[in-house]
Amino acid sequence: MSEQATQPEQVRKGLEGVVAGETSISDVDGHRCQLIYRGYHIDELIGRASYEEVGYLLLFGALPTRAQLAEWTTQLESQRAMDPPLTAFLQTLPKAAGPMATLRSLVSLMGVLDPSENDTSLESIKRKAVRTIAVIPTLVAAIGRHRAGQPLLSPTPGVGQAATFLYLLHGKEPTPLQARALDAYFILLADHGFNASTFTARTVTGTQSDYYSAITAAVGSLKGPLHGAANRKAMEMLTEIGSVEQIEHYVQRTLADHKRFMGFGHRVYKGADPRAKHLKEIAKRLGESVGETRWFDISERLQEAVWQAKKLYINVDFYSASLLHYLGIPTELFTTMFACARMVGWSAHVLEQAADNRLIRPLALYIGPRELKFVPLDHRK
Ligand code: CMC
Give the model's pLDDT for residue 313. 98
Give the model's pLDDT for residue 121. 98
177: number of Cβ within 10 Å: 15
pLDDT tens column, 272-281? 999 999 999 9
Query: Which residues are identified as catalytic?
Result: 266, 317
Task: Indicate which residue's Cα is closest to atom 34 of ligand 1.
Answer: 266
User: Can you give the three-state secondary structure of the chain, one letter per residue?
Assistant: CCCCCCCHHHCCHHHCCCCCCCCCCEEEECCCCEEEECCEEHHHHCCCCCHHHHHHHHHHCCCCCHHHHHHHHHHHHHCCCCCHHHHHHHHHCCCCCCHHHHHHHHHHHHHHHCCCCCCCCHHHHHHHHHHHHHHHHHHHHHHHHHHCCCCCCCCCCCCCHHHHHHHHHHCCCCCHHHHHHHHHHHHHCCCCCCCHHHHHHHHHHHCCCCHHHHHHHHHHHHCCCCCCCHHHHHHHHHHHHCCHHHHHHHHHHHHHCCCCCCCECCCCCCCCCCCHHHHHHHHHHHHHHCCCCHHHHHHHHHHHHHHHHHCCCECHHHHHHHHHHHCCCCHHHHHHHHHHHHHHHHHHHHHHHHHCCCCCCCCCCCCCCCCCCCCCHHHCC
Q: Is the pLDDT of residue 1 over 50?
A: no
Q: Is the pLDDT of residue 4 over 70?
A: no
Q: Which ligand 1 atom is at minimum distance from the Cα of 222?
A: 52
Q: Which ligand 1 atom is at minimum distance from the Cα of 195?
A: 51
pLDDT tens column, 199-217? 999 999 999 999 999 999 9
Q: Is the pLDDT of residue 3 over 70?
A: no
Decide: residue 378, CB within 10 A, 0-12 exposed, 13-18 middle, 19+ buried. Answer: exposed
pLDDT tens column, 345-376? 999 999 999 999 999 999 999 999 999 999 99
Q: Which ligand 1 atom is at minimum distance from the Cα of 255?
A: 2
**Mean pLDDT, residues 104-111 taken together:** 98
Instruction: Domains for the chain: give ranges and CATH numbers.
Output: 39-225+342-355 (1.10.580.10), 230-326 (1.10.230.10)
Q: How far is the CA of 265 from the centre of ligand 1 (A)?
A: 5
- How large a percentage of the chain has pLDDT more than 90? 96
Q: How far is the CA of 263 from the centre of ligand 1 (A)?
A: 9
Q: Which residues line ligand 1 (CB under 6 A)?
A: 14, 195, 226-228, 230, 260-267, 312, 315-317
Q: How far is the CA of 188 from the centre of ligand 1 (A)?
A: 20
**Mean pLDDT, residues 57-79 taken together:** 97
Q: pLDDT-derived band of residue 258, with 50, 70 and 90 as boundaries?
A: very high
Q: Which ligand 1 atom is at minimum distance from the Cα of 259?
A: 2
Task: Indicate which residue's Cα is closest to atom 3 of ligand 1.
Answer: 260
Q: pLDDT-derived band of residue 2, with 50, 70 and 90 as boundaries?
A: low
pTM value is 0.95
**Mean pLDDT, residues 72-98 taken together:** 97
Task: Indicate which residue's Cα is closest to atom 1 of ligand 1.
Answer: 260
pLDDT tens column, 314-345? 999 999 999 999 999 999 999 999 999 999 99
Give the model's pLDDT for residue 247. 98
Q: How far is the CA of 138 from the centre of ligand 1 (A)?
A: 33
With CA atoms as reference, report the closest residue to 148 among 119, 178, 168, 120: 168
Task: Indicate which residue's Cα is closest to atom 35 of ligand 1.
Answer: 226
Q: Is the pLDDT of residue 107 over 60?
A: yes
pLDDT tens column, 160-190? 999 999 999 999 999 999 999 999 999 999 9
Mean per-residue pLDDT over the chain, rounded = 96
Task: Indicate which residue's Cα is closest to atom 19 of ligand 1.
Answer: 258
Q: How far is the CA of 266 from the centre of ligand 1 (A)?
A: 6
Task: Indicate which residue's Cα is closest to atom 24 of ligand 1.
Answer: 267
**Mean pLDDT, residues 1-21 taken together:** 77
Give the model's pLDDT for residue 120. 97
Q: Which ligand 1 atom is at minimum distance from the Cα of 254?
A: 2
pLDDT tens column, 117-163? 999 999 999 999 999 999 999 999 999 999 999 999 999 889 999 99
Q: How far is the CA of 264 from the centre of ligand 1 (A)?
A: 7
Give the model's pLDDT for residue 10. 82
